[in-house]
Structures are given as structure tokens and as C-alpha cells.
Amino acid sequence: MASWNSIPLEITYEVLGWLAFFSWSISFYPQVILNFRRKSVVGLNFDFVMLNLTKHSSYMIYNVCLYFSPVIQKQYLEKYGSGEMIPVAANDVAFSIHAVLLTSITLFQILIYDRGTQKVSKISIGIVSAAWLTAAICVFIALPSQSWLWLISIFNSIQVFMTVIKYIPQAVMNFARKSTDGFSIGNILLDFVGGLANYAQMAVQSIDQNSWVNFYGNIGKTLLSLVSVFFDIIFMCQHFVLYPGKKATIASKLEREGKEPLVKSSDQPGPENV
């Protein structure tokens, strides 16, 4: 197994990795706190949470197995070369475990807080069921030949697929409501920083090793960063440009009070502006 050629690059790698860990990990808390304060999960898309739990669970299985199993590490080096480094860092393991825990807490909040008329769609239930059924079948396929690297790569592929589709329900919901009220933008800002730091960490390793194998050797981590950043930009545009939070807050307040204001706010468009 390869070692670091540059101490400064190794330190940079660790700093970026833990920056990604803290940014991504902290990003879960604004939504949890918002749900707790409102005693409501209205505005949070349940499909997003359910898909997210499957995504992080799959990613945790991949990271934990590749980081701790000598057998799987040996299979990785046999496939990509003995001179390569294992593309999973301690911060990847810590993040994925923490993510499963916090997403489970969010799911529990959905069960106990006001949900309005929202519910998990049958499509999401079908996708999640199909993902875990596929994983279970692959376990039995891998057993005879002990193809453990191939098996965890399936879990990594599942997390990539979930990463691609998990943001779509929330983005569509924001568009339909013309509001991001109830969806924490703090989550997105921290997720954006984490995605950039995670990608930069991989780039630093590649520069040190003069090899880009880690980008496709752990394609899940690569796509996780790119897809996260892409959708974070969409959410930021929705929140700050298309549906500013102040307008959403005013509209939400009026809905809760169940009456029209005596004097229209200057932030609210009149009929002539609609």
C-alpha cells in the first residue's frame, strides 16, 4: 500500500477531510432543530428523508467495510494496483455513521410531529424496497466467490443512485409551493461547504500520488461531492433568488392566522404584480 510523499499535502488532506466531516455533520442539525422548535415537519419532504436514510446506510456499509476489512483492502489493491492508497479516510467512516444516526432522528421527528397532509410517496417506498432487495440478492451472489469488494461496490452504487434522486422531491416541492419555508437553508449551506471540501480532499491525494485512481476507485465519493454541490446550488437559488425566505415566512404566518392582513406588506405582491 502506498504512503504519502508530501507531509504538507498529507496534513492538507486530513484538514479538508475533517472540514468536510464537520460541515456535513453539522448540516443535519438545523433541520432537526427547526423541526423541534416548530413541533412540525410540514415543508420537509418525507421522500427526501427516506431516500437519504437508504443512501447514508449504503454509504456507511461501503466505508466501514473498506476501511476496516484487510480482506477487502487486499481485493482493492489487487484490482487497482498495490501502489495505490485506500480511498476511504477515517472522516468518511465517521461521517457516514453520524449521518445514519441523525437521519434516523429526523425520521423519528416525522413520526411524532405535525405532518399536515404530507406522507411518503409510493414511488419512494418502491425505490427503497427495490434498492434493499437488490442488495440482499447481491449478498447471496457474492457469498460463493467471496467477492466482497464487488459487493460493497454495489452498496456504493446504491448510495450514488440515492444521492442523484434524493434531492429531486424537495426541489420539486419547493417549486410547487413557491416557498422554502420549513426547509432549513442552513443544512444546504453546510452541505455545500462539505461537498467542496470532500472533492478537494480527493484532489490533494491524487496530486500527492500522481494518480487519479482514487477518483474512479471510489466513484461514489466523487459523485457524492459533485451531485451534492449541484443540487445545493439549486436550493440556494430557490431560497435566496426565486422564493426569498422573508416572503415565505410572511405567507406562512398569514396561513397560520387564517386571515388576510389589514394592510398589505410591501413585500407581498398585489394583484397588479402577479
In a domain, 228, yes or no: yes
Residue 72 located in a structural domain: yes
- For residue 32, being part of any structural domain is answered with yes
pTM over 0.75, yes/no: yes
Q: What is the pLDDT of residue 217?
A: 82
**262 occurs within a structural domain:** no
Report yes or no on 271 lying in a domain: no
Dump pLDDT digits (tens) for 7-56.
999 999 999 999 999 998 998 898 899 899 999 998 888 988 999 999 99
Q: Which structural domain range is residue 184 located in?
A: 7-252
Assigned domain for 264 exists: no
Instruction: Tell me whether residue 266 is in a domain.
Output: no
Residue 261 lies in a domain: no
**Predicted pLDDT of residue 250:** 44
Domain count along the chain: 1
Q: Which regions of the chain are under pLDDT 70?
A: 1, 245-274
268 φ/ψ angles, rounded to the nearest 5 degrees: -100, 130
